Amino acid sequence: MRPPSKTTPAEGSGPGRDDGRCSPPLRVSLVGLAMEVMGAAAPNLAVYNLRAYACSDPELAKRVAVTVHDLPVTEPEDRVLAAVAADRPNVVGLSCYSWNSAAMLRLAEGIRTLDPAAIVLLGGPDATFRAGALLARHPAAVAAVVAGEGEEVFRLLLRRLADLDAAPWTETPGLVVRDGDDCRAHPPPEPLALSRVPAPLDDPDFRRRHPGLLVLETARGCRHRCAYCTYGVQSPGRRLRPLGGVVRALRAFAASGGGKVWLLDPGLNQEPRRFRALVRHLAAADNLTLVGAELNLATLHPPDLAPLAGRVGDFLIFGLQSSSPRALRQAGRTARLEAFGDRTRQLRQAGLPFSLDVIYGLPGDDYAAFSRTLDAAFAMEPNFINCFRLQVLPGSRFAHDAERLGLRHQPEPPYYLESCPTFSAGDMARAERLARALTIFHQFTYRTEIVGLMARELERRPAEVLEDFLAGRWRGAPLNDSELARLASPVGQPGALPALRLFLAAASRAARRPVLLRPLDDLLRLQHHWGRLRILAGCSAPPSPPVPAGAIRLAGTASILNLDSDALALIETLAPLAAVDHTPRRLVMYLTGDRVEMATVGPEVARVLEWIGPGASVATLEAAAAAHYPDTPRAEVNRSLHRLLNDLVRRGVLVR
């Protein structure tokens, strides 16, 4: 294949295990286009698993060169195509999910246009459950579909293409291929033991793309059969990576320097004894921070998580989905709101951050029920609430029963529900606006306190606070859909903070509660800047402009806030606003590694930071200090000043 002219290949691509030298006969490219989480591209573990497992076959490893392209779904498509084309691949595997399938199919068309001889394979959950339709619609672009788990299928297929096995590649177990005007699905191979799939500890491309991160698949399959989910049906049974293997991976990662740990399992606590042992091993290494784990709140025993207090970097993720017993029954879930509230209270008391997932559009729900679900979620005081529009995913029970249940949905990815008998199209639009308003309040803060505090102080429901924001009385006109979409997007984030501050001020005036504004405004700004730095902690910081020689300025990964109240105490206790100390505070926030540190500063430090402003020369700072302390010897003033500057530079607050 020849790459398109004048197009730069995307970053995040790996040249394969042989670094492009002495390439074996069969060249293979694997492409994953992942979602972004907190401003950084999440890893696509599937492409690394496929390569690691294939190359664990000694014969095959000598005959293939497998290149991984682990990129965000937002990567420009011409750059993705150029990166793959540069490999000159004989075989291309595309990992398809509901959020990237359209882009993957366009990529398949582009690859085949550049090289009609290339074999393009689709895999992943979205391709698995509509293999026949994809083969029928894209006869020139897609050669076959890997249905279900791909590691063993991929290895067997490559062995046949590399002439290590005599059977035709089109007859590989687990492959769906064309058969005249129809398609033929070959029976899958035996389910693979997870102990045979290497963790990506030693993968140089993974380490380069995601430094300081371990993504470990601890289990496949799920005991639950939620009607909106395909995870329980796409993997045969529930299989666990042996605990000994998980522990060895954690210890090896800790010994290499450690960092963030993301555990992939649809319900990490489905086996309680194993879960408790896993938590103990995680807590045993002081340089490991859990940043991602999905747990079942209905079966959680919160004290099991106590050893991880202070060691959870982002959130423990729990699925609330709905507070409606009727909707939960139709979705195959149980309603235990009282138990949920008790367990989330224990999580808060233990200092464990958590988020709740909520779905709107579930059969049996309506707009009022969704609004009540949001109120119930806020009552549990999570750090974050994720609102999702129902997707009627191929392979799910809702997709199978869509006609019977009256589910009108998009026929193509992302398969969003349009309406159902209990949730009209108009109410779906209202619910989407409410979810976007919540996104704006969360924007960069990843906290829910502002909405919850406003609701409590104004004696309103949290959903009503969000509805008031949408109504736009604070600005003289409702927010239209385009404005709402812009404010809820990363691009519109700079405009979200001023809009929220105006809303807070208007709400305070309308309630005749001027005391309400100061602490809430402080808290909003504090969380905004905390979130901005938290995003920078998870991805590469933007390049900083050069600092002139002899000058000093605030680091791009630091913020200084002048607060009118003790917002730090407020965020720790969520005390009634009337009890908040209104003594002004000066707060410095800065990054230390991947943690956001906060410190209040005294008047002398604040004065120096004011002198620095957007930037100042050291000589200017020395002159300002000498003028402010005329009775102190100049040399002593300079020594004190430079000690302070050196300390702030060491912490990452200032840069020289």
pLDDT number for residue 194: 94
Mean pLDDT confidence for 236-259: 94
Instruction: For residue 37, name the pLDDT band (cuts at 50, 70, 90).
Output: low
Mean pLDDT value of segment 308-321:
87
- Give the angle 42-84-62 at the CA atoms, nearest 5°: 95
The Cβ of residue 523 has, within 10 Å, a number of other Cβ atoms equal to 25
Residues found in the chain: 656
pLDDT one-digit tens code per residue, 606-647: 889 889 888 889 899 999 999 999 999 999 999 999 999 999
Q: Check: CB of residue 191 under 8 Å from CB of residue 238.
A: no
Structure tokens at 280: 């103990």
In sequence order, what DSSP letters do the residues of 520-589 get, joined into one string? HHHHHHHHHHHHHHHHHHHSPPPPPPPPPTTEEEE-TTEEEEEESS-HHHHHHH---GGGS----EEEEE
**Distance from C-alpha of 457 to C-alpha of 516, rounded to nearest angstrom:** 8
- CA angle, 103 then 107 then 112, to 5°: 155
pLDDT value at 374 more than 50: yes
User: Cα–chain-centroid distance for residue 427?
Assistant: 28
- Region 527-655: CATH code: 3.90.930.50
Beta partners for residue 284, in sequence order: none
Angle, vertex CA 342, rays to CA 339 and CA 347, nearest 5: 125
Which phi and psi angles does 5 have, rounded to 5°? -70, 150
- Token pair, residue 86, equals 């540069």
Per-residue pLDDT for 547 more than 90?
A: no
Please state the rounded mean pLDDT for residues 525-531: 80
Instruction: Supply the DSSP string of 105-170, one letter for each residue.
Output: HHHHHHHHHH-TT-EEEEESHHHHTTHHHHHHH-TTT--EEE-S--HHHHHHHHHHHTTSS-S-GG
612 or 28: whose pLDDT is higher? 28
Give the CATH class of 200-510. Answer: alpha beta
Greatest mean pLDDT among 395-404, 444-453, 493-502, 512-521 lies in 395-404
Domain positions in the chain are: 26-185, 200-510, 527-655
> Which residues, in sequence order, are bridge partners of residue 551?
617
Cα of first residue to Cα of last residue in the chain, in angstroms, is 48
pLDDT digit string, tens, across residues 469-517 = 999 999 999 999 999 999 988 777 778 889 999 999 999 999 888 877 8
Which of 329, 332, 327 lies closest to 421, judged by CA? 327
Q: Name the phi and psi angles at 218, rounded to 5.
A: -90, -15
Residue scoring higher pLDDT (538 or 514): 514
Which amino acid is it at 422?
A: T
For residue 362, how many C-alpha atoms fall within 13 Å in the half-sphere facing its CB? 30
> What are 350-370's pLDDT values in tens digits?
989 899 999 999 999 999 999
Pairing of strands 36-37, 26-34: unpaired
pLDDT value of residue 6: 39
Fold (topology level) of 26-185: Rossmann fold (3.40.50)
